[in-house]
Amino acid sequence: MAREVENAVGEGDDRGCLANGDPHAVGIAPNSIDATNNTRCSAACAYYTPFANRPNLVVIINATVSHILWANSTGGAKLTARGSISFSKEVILSAGTIGSPKILELSGVGNSTILKAAGVTPVLSLPTVGENFADHVHSWANAFTNITLTKDALLLNPAFAAKQEALWFKNRTGLYSAVPRSLGIAAPSAVFTPSELNTRIAQAQANLTHFAEQFSNENPALAKGIAAQHKIAPTLYQKDKELPLEMNAEPRYSGPTSFSARPARNYTTINSVLYAPLSCGRTHILSSDPLVPPAVDPAYWAHPIDVAAQVGRIKLARRMLTAPPLDSICTGEFEPGADKDTDTKIEDWLRSVVASDNHEVGSLSTMPQSLGGVVDTSLKVYRTATVRVAVYMIGERAADIIRGGQA
Ligand SMILES: Cc1cc2nc3c(=O)[nH]c(=O)nc-3n(C[C@H](O)[C@H](O)[C@H](O)COP(=O)(O)OP(=O)(O)OC[C@H]3O[C@@H](n4cnc5c(N)ncnc54)[C@H](O)[C@@H]3O)c2cc1C
């Protein structure tokens, strides 16, 4: 497909190719694969295995961090962390969007009302810990296809699947080594008609304060932070610069119906992920017991523009499946199905089937404290001296910041 894109726009022309950084484009969705053995890399093989023998690196497995022990907690003074695993410089929390706020709350840092209700003694008031949580919602439109070999064969034909598995283990070839999908990112102008877009943007702007208050859990600073985010997003929608949806085409069934409940046929699917939700939820502990999972309310589709974008994307996927070149291989829609013929019916179907894309973010946000932030730009938790928060995606940047800070 990358070649087709290049042919369409001309060699050396950056337009139309995701790989060249143009988001209004399509491209192959590459996996991080080691070309010498066709194997996908991971955090373990990239960041642990090469350094496993270092004497100053200790990894403790099958252990749950319960909380941080604070060395002092007087008045408004900065706190210093002291672990039951001793450390000399600082604690870096990297337990994920749900795990990191949980550890902070179990350590007494957060909204004192929530902490007390869970049986935790408040140590430091940072009421937006666990707030500003957002996630990507995943949905699908799929069709039957006349293509004779799709990845459906791995489920439909056990003998074929066994052969492909043997090929993979023998020399890393076969269907299990195939690039799984192509990728496109849909701009608002592809998802909405101009008048619908204008109406949606006007509604979002008119209700800005309402939604900022609804999503901020009665926290005035965070309401300002959410309002600031919601102020920018519609402007970018208007300029076609906020790209709300990932659309990726996949040569197999992908959707909500189990293998045994769907027709045993070959499929083509267009997956969709809502990239830029305005809906905002939260995650908080329910108990002082570190083994009790926290509650998560992702507030999916709490903002009307998120719902409209997902409905619009089903209609866009339908247009793609019934227009050249996909119309030559698609032989009829399976899901959502021809009976979902109004926006309301599409929305009802989506509400009953959509899933998380496991891309949750934002629960310890890097924003000014006056806008409800929890972490500053050096990744330090506000009003603490020795606690930072990092995530995998910015791990190397975090290392630079920490080294720079200590130099
Ligand atoms: C199925 C799936 C597919 C995905 N596909 C993609 C993709 O294709 N592209 C992409 O960019 N992203 C993808 N993601 C999202 C991506 O994996 C996450 O955004 C990313 O891993 C988040 O990194 P993190 O450092 O915040 O936390 P995590 O990677 O979640 O790491 C947190 C770690 O902390 C550990 N932990 C939590 N609490 C404790 C505790 N109390 N004590 C000890 N350890 C604890 C957890 O076990 C975990 O190992 C996918 C996620 C899933 C689940």
Distance between CA 218 and CA 140 in Å, rounded? Answer: 35
Q: 79: domain CATH number?
A: 3.50.50.60
pLDDT in tens, 254-266: 999 999 999 999 9
What is the average per-residue pLDDT within 85-113?
A: 92
- Selection from 87, 130, 142, 118 nearest residue 385 by Cα: 87
Which of the listed residues 42, 391, 394, 396 should we mutate to test ligand 1's pocket, taking the one with most ligand atoms within 8 A of CB? 391
Predicted local confidence at residue 84, as pLDDT: 66
Report residue 85's pLDDT band, with 50, 70 and 90 as the boundaries: confident
For a substitution probing ligand 1, which of 135, 392, 394 has the most ligand atoms within 8 Å of its CB?
392
- Whether the CB of 64 sits within 6 Å of ligand 1: yes
Of all residues in the chain, the percent with pLDDT exceeding 70 is 89
Residue with tokens 């929305």: 347
Cα 96 to ligand 1 centroid, rounded to whole Å: 6
Same domain as 138, residue 125: no
Per-residue pLDDT of 287-338, as tens digits, reads: 999 999 999 999 999 999 999 999 999 999 999 999 999 999 999 999 999 9
Task: Tell which atom from ligand 1 comes closest to the C-alpha of 65.
Answer: 42
Residues contacting 406, CB < 8 A, separation 6+: 89
196 lies in the same domain as 331: yes
CB-ligand 1 contact for 93 (6 Å cutoff): no
Q: pLDDT at residue 10 above 70?
A: no
398 lines ligand 1 (CB under 6 A): no
Provide the angle, in degrees to the nearest 10, between the axes of the packed helices 208-215 and 194-206: 60
Q: Are residues 323 and 387 in the same domain?
A: no
108 occurs within a structural domain: yes
Number of structural domains, the chain?
2
What is d(CA 186, CA 245) in angstroms, rounded to the nearest whole number? Answer: 5
* Residues 242 and 339 placed together within one structural domain of the fold: yes
Half-sphere exposure of 159 (CA within 13 A, CB side): 0
Ligand 1 atom, smallest distance to 395 CA: 25
Distance 244 CA to ligand 1 centre (A): 23
- 161 located within any domain: yes
What confidence score (pLDDT) does residue 2 get? Answer: 42
Long-range Cβ contacts of 375-382 (<8 Å, 24+ apart): 378/405, 381/93, 381/104, 381/109, 381/126, 382/126
**Is 180 contained in some domain?**
yes
| Mean residue pLDDT across the chain | 89
| 292 and 372 housed in the same domain | no
Note whether 144 and 226 are same-domain residues. Answer: yes
Q: Average pLDDT in the 382-397 region?
A: 93
Nearest atom (ligand 1) to Cα of 390: 25
Instruction: Note the pLDDT of residue 6.
Output: 46
- If you take atom 28 of ligand 1, which residue's CA is the nearest one? 96
Residue identifier of the C-alpha nearest atom 5 of ligand 1: 358
Residue carrying structure tokens 């008045």: 75
Closest ligand 1 atom to 97 CA: 26
Assess if residue 38 is contained within a domain.
no
- Tokens found for residue 327: 């119309």
* Distance linking the first and last C-alpha atoms of the chain: 47
Q: Which amino acid type is present at position 60?
A: I
The encoded tokens of residue 362 equal 């934002």
Reported as a single tens digit per residue, the pLDDT across 336-345 is 999 999 999 9
Segments forming the whole domain that contains residue 220? 134-356
Find the 329 Cα to ligand 1 centroid distance in Å. Answer: 36
How do 91-93 and 387-389 pair as beta strands? parallel
- Distance (Å) from CA 34 to ligand 1 centroid: 21
62 lines ligand 1 (CB under 6 A): no
Q: Using pLDDT thresholds of 50, 70 and 90, give the confidence band for residue 240.
A: confident
8 A C-beta contact, residue 304 and residue 200:
yes
Per-residue pLDDT at 81 exceeds 70 = no
Please work out whether the CB of residue 197 comes within 6 Å of at least one atom of ligand 1.
no
Distance of CA 141 from the midpoint of ligand 1 (Å): 27
Ligand 1 contact via 99 beta carbon (within 6 Å): yes
DSSP string, 295-308: EEE--TT-SHHHHH
pLDDT above 50 (res 107): yes
In this prediction, residues 40-50 reach a mean pLDDT of 88
Could you tell me which of 46, 55, 374 has the C-alpha nearest to residue 221? Answer: 374
In a domain, 18, yes or no: no
Distance 100 CA to ligand 1 centre (A): 11
CATH number of the domain that residue 257 is part of? 3.30.560.10
Give the ligand 1 atom nearest the CA of 392.
Answer: 25
Identify whether residues 222 and 270 lie together within a single domain.
yes
Nearest to 386 by CA among 70, 57, 64: 70
Residue 80 has pLDDT above 70, yes or no: no
Same domain, 124 and 147: no
CA of 95, closest atom in ligand 1: 34
155 shares a domain with 138: yes
What is the secondary structure of 56-119 as a DSSP string?
A: T-----S-----PEEEE--TTPPBEEE-SS--SS-EEE-SHHHHHHHHHHHTTEE-HHHHHHHT
Judgement on whether residues 215 and 287 belong to the same structural domain of the protein: yes
Q: Per the domain annotation, does 27 fall within a domain?
A: no
Residue 93 within a domain: yes
pLDDT at 406 over 80: no
Q: Which of 33, 358, 379, 396 for mutating ligand 1's site (highest number of atoms within 8 Å of CB)?
A: 358
**Ligand 1 pocket residue status of 379, Cβ below 6 Å:** no
